[in-house]
Amino acid sequence: MSVYLDHAATTPILPEALSAMTDQLGRVGNASSLHGSGRDARRVVEESRETIARALHSRPGEVVFTSGGTESDNLAVKGLYWARRAEDPRRTRILSTPIEHHAVLDPLHWLGTEGAKVELVDVDQVGRLDLDAFRAAVESDPESVALVTVMWANNEVGTVQPVAEVVEIAHAHGIPVHTDAVQALGQLPLDFAESGVDAMTVTGHKIGGPYGVGALVVRRELQPTALLHGGGQERDIRSGTIDPPAIAGFAAACEIAVAHQPELSARLAELRDALVDGVRREVPDAIYNGDPVDRLPGNAHLEFPGCEGDSLLMLLDARGIECSTGSACDAGVPQASHVLLAMGSSEEFARSSLRFSLGHTSTRADVDALVEAIAPVVERARSAGIATRSR
Amino acid sequence: MRVLAAMSGGVDSAVAAARAAEAGHDVTGIHLALSRNPKSYRTGARGCCTIEDANDARRAADVIGIPFYVWDLSDRFHEDVVEDFVSEYAAGRTPNPCLRCNEKIKFAAVLDRAVALGFDAVATGHYAQLRTAADGTIEMHRARDMAKDQSYVLGVLTQEQLAHSLFPLGDTPKPEIRAEAERRGIAVAAKPDSHDICFISDGDTGGWLSEKLGSSEIGVNRSGSIVSTDGETLGTHEGSWRYTIGQRRGLKIGTPAADGQPRYVLDIEPVSGTVTVGPRSALAVAGLSAIRPRWCGAVPDGPLECTVQLRAHGDEHRAVVLVDGDQLSVDLLDPASGIAPGQAVVVYHGSRVVGSATISATRRAA
């Protein structure tokens, strides 16, 4: 058995989600068909939609099923930008942060090549959006802002973003706000209605649900321009045959994740603190990145000066301990994390980090195994670091 | 042993990794990311540097059943191999980047890191054989398949490096390796052999160098004259880096030689940009000097009767080598032709590699 400390990448499926999914896999019925089998499939989808809406405090009609986080982010960023600009051609600016997931940053970059003016407002050293700078960016010319997109909590360093304040500033000028809440769901209290955000990305496999299914929760008043044209199955915003087994699994996971969130968060925060304390006891010069308090309870992002993150990862992997360098991977080619660079880290330091992320199956034994292994691993990686460092 | 198998995504390194694993070693596969901006897909027949190659290497590792990682050595590769390649051409020499990569990257940066991480050896898909002599010295010999022999590009390895190296393919002809890859279910069995220079993706070395040197501050003339051995100007060119000694094609000289024979590049003077051309007979080399020697084992003592190889897949020449500190003086008993400074001279005793050095000057046959 491996020690799995990479729940931010994906998390083991919950038994309830697995059975909800497998119950549906053997059944026939296109949810868009008009006969009995179709109606049965549709019923599973709509009950799942209601379950998710209840869990996230949204209306069922606001839940648009997608293939996951990346599609939801693309739909929100591109779709809302296109729709808002179509209403008023002056709206060419998009405000965001440099620490977004690539599923947001890359669509933004692409829109930039298509004429959008993308402004990434600075974050501070712990990776939290600079609200004064954000307010100034909005107020410099609010009419020209098509969209604001700020993630709920960062996937690499775990820092929670001031989404409520962002919403307040943007809404004062009628600007819609999208948030990528993929990492936050199940780890932080998430209330779509109360948050005031206009669109929110969530996905199944980060909360004990299946891969390949997620949702964009988007207020009914907003109609993002579709990315996928076809049957118009999901509010005409998203086309493609609906996937009842995946959606049933997602709903089962979502319901449990939200119901257990307060208890899970408390447990994970305690485990996480034990992990950080234990690692820093063994490796005193390890640096704890991100906001020490206002962060995802399951996230521990640590920098080990003098080590290459990928050496550490490999040595831990050889001991059955699985974690992440927390950086974007292009076919496994490690790159210095754009998040750490945006937080003011040097390229060298940005390559010295590991992300340990805890989730619903994490135990004290996992943490103890890491703490026991870390000192010799760091020592070894440090001596290897010198070998490949650029001169 | 704990073995790190360097996997390019090609068939040779995949079979090498499989053989190391089958021999009972604890093998971990790595792919070296050497390009700063990897292309998604291979163009032509190059054995590395694209994401597709990394994926091929990963699939081979899956099939073999070993862990696999990508190591980013693009910065080191750029500094030690690419920049060196450019400056060597700028100086009118003809470097061999594969030797340089073996010396500085695969059997230095990678090997050092591997040893530091607790590995005992690095295995590669090079065709060469290692044998342990009676006194414990590790000897490197030519591969059994002379058509694939790569001992030339490994001639820079020292005893210390050889002691941590494994070349599992050296005893097998290439066609058998392909068949073995097929048998093992390694999907890249049909992939073409890599050749040319891995970091020049379209194979156009002259064009690539023009991009790097055309606007350079290194003091290379963009253009210059093509002159005969008598000093007569025969034409002009756009960058001396486009030429290599012994080159015949692409000279674009309007006036034919008096004797009607083809002309060859004899000399390149990069500062003035002068490229000298002349008859084939003027390319004959009777001896050469070389610098920066690297010895696989003991340094030869006194004149060494041996054979030398002067380019990858080149002929063997009988020679007498005299070592004087960091200088080598080589008398060729069999004349060679078109030898360019910058290339490596690799010294053999029978099939055994003695060492190598970088050619600094050649001595024309009388």
Classify residue B325 by burial, with Cβ atoms within 10 Å: 0-12, 13-18, 19+.
exposed
pLDDT of residue B45: 44
pLDDT recorded at residue A388: 59
Q: Are residues A332 and B69, on separate chains, in Cβ contact within 8 Å?
A: yes
As annotated, the active-site residues of A are 329
B166 and B239 fall within a common domain: no
pLDDT band, very low/low/confident/very high, at B59 (cuts 50, 70, 90): very high
Residues A287, A249 share a domain: no
CA angle A150, A156, A157 (to 5 degrees): 90
CB contact under 8 A, B28 and A390: no
Please give the residue of chain A at the shortest CA–CA distance from B50: A331
Domain's final residue, options A256, A290, A325: A256
Local structure of residue A254 (DSSP, 8 states): H
Q: Is the domain of B243 the same as that of B175?
A: no
At residue B41, does pLDDT exceed 70?
Answer: no
pLDDT in tens, B265-304: 988 887 788 889 988 888 889 999 999 999 999 999 889 9
User: Do B310 and B359 belong to one domain?
Assistant: yes
Q: How confident is the model at residue B191 (pLDDT cuts 50, 70, 90)?
A: confident
Q: What ipTM does this complex have?
A: 0.87
Mean pLDDT of chain B: 88
Chain B residues in contact with A309 by the CB 8 A cut-off are: none
Task: Name the residue range of residue A308's domain.
Answer: 3-9+262-388
Q: How long, in residues, is chain B?
A: 366
User: Looking at A256, A281, A308, which one is the last position of a domain?
Assistant: A256
In total, how many domains does chain A have? 2
Range of the domain at B232: 221-366
- We report the CATH number of the domain holding residue B307 as 2.40.30.10
3-state secondary structure of A100: coil
Domain boundary among A256, A274, A295: A256
What confidence score (pLDDT) does residue A373 get? 98
Q: CB neighbours of B183 closer than 8 A, spacing ≥ 6? A: none
User: A279 with A321, same domain?
Assistant: yes
| Residues of B in Cβ contact (< 8 Å) with A380 | 116-118
3-state helix, strand and coil shares in percent for chain B, rounded to the nearest 5: 30, 30, 40
* Residue in A332, A333, A380 nearest the CB of B118: A380
Pair B172, B54 in one domain = yes
Distance from CA of B117 to the nearest CA of A (A): 6
Is residue B102 scored above 70 in pLDDT?
yes
Is the confidence at residue B254, as pLDDT, over 80?
no
pLDDT of the residue at B162: 97
Within a domain: B207 = no
Say whether both A46 and A184 belong to one domain. yes
The confidence score (pLDDT) of residue A386 equals: 66
Instruction: Say whether both A110 and A193 belong to one domain.
Output: yes
Q: Would you state the pLDDT for residue B217?
A: 55
Gap between the Cα atoms of A174 and A176, Å rounded: 6
- Same domain as B227, residue B169: no
Same domain, A268 and A242: no
Instruction: Let me know if residue B208 belongs to a domain.
Output: no
Q: What is the pLDDT of residue B68?
A: 96
Both A120 and A200 in one domain: the answer is yes
Residues of chain A neighbouring B110 (CB-CB closer than 8 A): 388
Q: How many domains does the structure of chain B reveal?
A: 2
- Asked whether the predicted pLDDT for residue B189 surpasses 90, the reply is no
Q: What is the pLDDT of residues A212-230, one digit of tens each?
A: 999 999 999 999 999 999 9
- A202 and A299 share one domain: no
Note whether A235 and A290 are same-domain residues: no
The Cα–Cα gap between B169 and B143 comes to 8
Q: How far apart are CA B344 and CA B329, in angstroms?
A: 13
- Is B233 inside any structural domain? yes
The mean pLDDT of B52-77, rounded to a whole number, is 92
- Tokens linked to A303: 């920098």
Tell me what percent of chain A is helix, strand and coil, each rounded to the nearest 5: 45, 15, 40
What tens-digit pLDDT sequence spans chain A (391 residues)? 799 999 999 999 999 999 999 999 999 999 999 999 999 999 999 999 999 999 999 999 999 999 999 999 999 999 999 999 999 999 999 999 999 999 999 999 999 999 999 999 999 999 999 999 999 999 999 999 999 999 999 999 999 999 999 999 999 999 999 999 999 999 999 999 999 999 999 999 999 999 999 999 999 999 999 999 999 999 999 999 999 999 999 999 999 999 999 999 999 999 999 999 999 999 999 999 999 999 999 999 999 999 999 899 999 999 999 999 875 555 466 678 899 999 999 888 888 999 999 999 999 999 999 999 999 999 999 998 765 555 4
For residues B156-162, give the mean pLDDT.
96
Residue B216 in any domain: the answer is no
Note the pLDDT tens digit of each residue in A57-114: 999 999 999 999 999 999 999 999 999 999 999 999 999 999 999 999 999 999 999 9
Question: What CATH number does residue A383 fall under?
Answer: 3.90.1150.10
Same domain, A244 and A281: no
- The total of other beta-carbon atoms located within 10 Å of residue A341's CB is 16
Percent of chain A with pLDDT over 90: 92
